[in-house]
């Protein structure tokens, strides 16, 4: 029997919105593998995905842990349902969102209902139910947004950060974790390239040869969320320090003989991913493996909330995938993609 680690998560009830997604499944698997939760609740609106997830986890978890894994049908748009679901919950991970850029552009009212109104509902339900901590997942697209998805997530981030003003000294702690597209996740470029290669295509479309991205795995995303759960005091935005890569190098790593064809940048797409904007640099501190953007509000008390060990970054600094100091070579990308595909 594997010994479980002592943690803030031990013997606590944890709820994950959008829990049937890639992050939710990876996070919940980690929680049961290394900690001893009292209960883990998957909150999502697709009963079929919950059915599939329950069957999958029944094969990897023991009977005792499966009794702790609960499935709750609900939508973050439904405040009353959230209020019911949050009863007795200690920690909430908010991963539910409309994430596809074209879908948000074509259905703006729906994106606003889920990403903005849903965020407000999470805040209200957490405050009313005395949840200890909420960690909300964000995206690079919330920094200097140029599409509706990024705009809604910017508002969502602001809601969660400002929510700390309503908590009081002993109330709910709200923080944000920000990262870009997860390597190999649904809708990311790796499965798109792989599908083309598997179908015999020798030509790979590249929207812009200059395009760069950060490389982050699901495991690294989970690490950062757990770190935020364990140490956040309220209002922080956590960003991992991770390597960058060129999209052209990724295509070459996946098929050295491929022909690259530039097809033009898509609406709402950026050349580089930006995790910390220049205007946020005044409130950003660099730590060993991550950055933290601290809030700038009267209620934020530096003497109580500031996490020691950080170095204030220079004014005007931008954490940008195109200006990063750490890069993955074609060979390193090939090794990482091979491992990623073999584990899926």
The pLDDT value given to residue 1: 38
Residues 241, 165, 308, 37, Cα dihedral to 10°: -70
Taking the whole predicted model, whether its pTM rises above 0.85 is answered as yes
Per CATH, is 75-180+215-241+275-318 categorized as 3.40.50.720?
Answer: yes
As given in the structure block, the two tokens for residue 343 are 């584990």
Q: What is the tens place of the pLDDT at every residue in 6-61?
A: 678 989 999 999 999 999 999 999 999 999 999 999 999 999 999 999 999 999 99
Q: Which residues are catalytic?
A: 141
Q: What is the tens place of the pLDDT at every residue in 130-143?
A: 999 999 999 999 99
The pLDDT value given to residue 344: 66
Average pLDDT score over residue span 208-233: 94
Average pLDDT score over residue span 247-257: 93
Q: Is 100 helix (H, G, I), strand (E, B) or coil?
A: coil
The pLDDT value given to residue 31: 95
Q: What is the tens place of the pLDDT at every residue in 316-332?
A: 999 999 999 999 999 99
Q: With 70 as the cut, is the pLDDT of residue 238 above it?
A: yes
Cα–Cα dist 296/192, whole Å = 40
Q: With 60 as the cut, is the pLDDT of residue 279 above it?
A: yes
CA atoms within 13 A on the CB side of 147: 21
The pLDDT value given to residue 316: 92
The pLDDT value given to residue 4: 60
What are the backbone dihedrals phi and psi of residue 259, each rounded to the nearest 5 degrees, phi first?
Answer: -105, 125
Query: Which range (106-110, 200-204, 240-244) has the least confidence?
Result: 200-204
As given in the structure block, the two tokens for residue 210 are 């200059």
What are the backbone dihedrals phi and psi of residue 170, each rounded to the nearest 5 degrees, phi first?
Answer: -115, 15
């Amino acid at each position: 029997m594997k010994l479980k680690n002592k943690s803030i998560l031990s013997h606590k009830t944890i709820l994950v919105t959008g829990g049937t997604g890639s992050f939710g499944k990876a996070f919940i698997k980690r929680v049961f593998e290394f900690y001893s939760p009292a209960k883990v609740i998957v909150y999502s609106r697709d009963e079929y995905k919950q059915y599939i997830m329950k069957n999958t986890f029944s094969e990897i978890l023991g009977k005792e842990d499966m009794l702790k894994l609960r499935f709750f049908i609900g939508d973050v748009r439904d405040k009353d349902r959230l209020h019911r679901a949050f009863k007795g919950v200690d920690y909430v991970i908010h991963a539910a969102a409309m994430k596809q850029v074209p879908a948000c552009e074509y259905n703006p009212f729906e994106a606003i209902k889920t990403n903005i109104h849903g965020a407000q509902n999470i805040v209200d339900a957490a405050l009313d139910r005395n949840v200890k901590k909420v960690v909300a997942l964000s995206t690079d697209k919330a920094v200097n947004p140029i599409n509706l998805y990024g705009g809604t997530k910017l508002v969502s981030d602001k809601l969660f950060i400002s929510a700390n003003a309503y908590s009081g000294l002993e109330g709910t702690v709200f923080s944000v974790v920000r990262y870009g597209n997860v390597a190999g996740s649904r809708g990311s470029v790796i499965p798109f390239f792989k599908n083309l290669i598997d179908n015999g295509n020798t030509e790979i479309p590249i929207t812009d040869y200059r395009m760069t991205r950060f490389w982050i795995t699901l495991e690294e995303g989970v690490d950062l969320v757990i770190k935020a759960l364990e140490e956040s005091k309220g209002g922080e935005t956590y960003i991992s320090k991770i390597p960058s890569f060129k999209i052209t190098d990724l295509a070459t790593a996946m098929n050295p003989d491929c022909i690259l064809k530039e097809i033009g940048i898509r609406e709402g797409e950026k050349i580089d991913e930006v995790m910390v904007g220049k205007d946020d640099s005044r409130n950003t501190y660099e730590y060993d493996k991550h950055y933290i953007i601290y809030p700038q509000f009267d209620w934020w008390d530096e003497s109580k909330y500031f996490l020691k060990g950080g170095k204030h970054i220079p004014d005007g600094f931008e954490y940008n995938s195109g200006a990063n100091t750490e890069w993955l070579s074609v060979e390193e990308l090939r090794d990482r993609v091979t491992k990623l595909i073999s584990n899926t």
